[in-house]
Amino acid sequence: MSVVLHGPSYSTYARTVRMVLEEKGIPYTLHEVDLLRGEGQSPEHLARHPWGKVPVLEHDGFALYETFAIGRYLDEAFPGPRLQPEEVRARARMTQICGIIDSYAYGAAIGKVFWQAAVVPMQGGTPDQAVVAQGLEQSARAFRALEALMPGEEGFLCGGGLTLADLHLVPVVDYFAMVPPGRSALEGHPRLSAWWRRIAERPSVVKTKPRLG
């Protein structure tokens, strides 16, 4: 049995898949594709992913891209704890939350706030504060929507058990909270902050935490 994940360890979406693999107890090899050095656009990687993005999973000759599809596949193809609710409405909620993260949270929290506050200075540039402000406003809207969907003050995004929705959100909130504007913005979302404090201790989250710089 061979499972290979293509994607750098600093990628948010690749981290979601790595946490799924850890939670399910699936051994895998991480093949680093360094996006910051342009490796996503290499002919070799474009053959795996038409847009040159990560992650891409390969399992015994079966190749798959798109993080949510990969998470579902791993959950259904392998034994271990289930990461999708049995109950149909809870499962629909999980899919909805992953869609919200992809469509409204990631671009704002990572593409704007984290990118400007962390990646631009790491590359020797000066953050564009207008982009940061816009990213904070858009993140706040997405985080408010996620909080409104959380069923309670305790537990996980879809209720009692860990699901793919939690693993989709962890990398986004972690990077967002690593930069000062994101950290203070997160404090304005008490339910999400409490969720983050609880989940940040999980072994799969700790083990996959990216090191910056």
Binding residues for ligand GSH, rule: CB under 6 A, are: 11-13, 35, 40, 52-54, 66-67
When the beta carbons of 12 and 204 are compared against ligand GSH, the nearer one is 12
The Cα–Cα gap between 21 and 9 comes to 14
C-beta of 70 vs 158, nearer to ligand GSH = 70
Residue 15 C-beta: closest distance to ligand GSH, Å: 8
Q: Determine the 3-state secondary structure of 135 from DSSP.
A: helix
Amino acid at 42: S
Q: How far is the CB of 52 from ligand GSH (least distance, A)?
A: 5
- CB nearer to ligand GSH: give 13 or 196: 13
Cβ atoms of residues 102 and 111 within 8 Å: no
Q: Minimum distance from CB of 144 to ligand GSH (Å)?
A: 23
Residue 7 tokens read as 């994607």
C-beta of 190: minimal distance to ligand GSH in Å?
A: 27
State which residue has the least CB distance to ligand GSH.
53
Comparison of 120 and 159: residue with beta carbon closer to ligand GSH? 120
Identity of the residue, 44 or 86, whose beta carbon is nearer to ligand GSH in the bound complex: 44
| Long-range CB contacts (within 8 A, 24+) of 103-106 | 104/138, 104/141, 104/142, 104/145, 105/139, 105/142, 105/143, 105/146, 105/169, 105/172, 106/12, 106/172
Contact 179, 117 (CB under 8 A): yes
CB of 148 to ligand GSH, least distance (A): 23
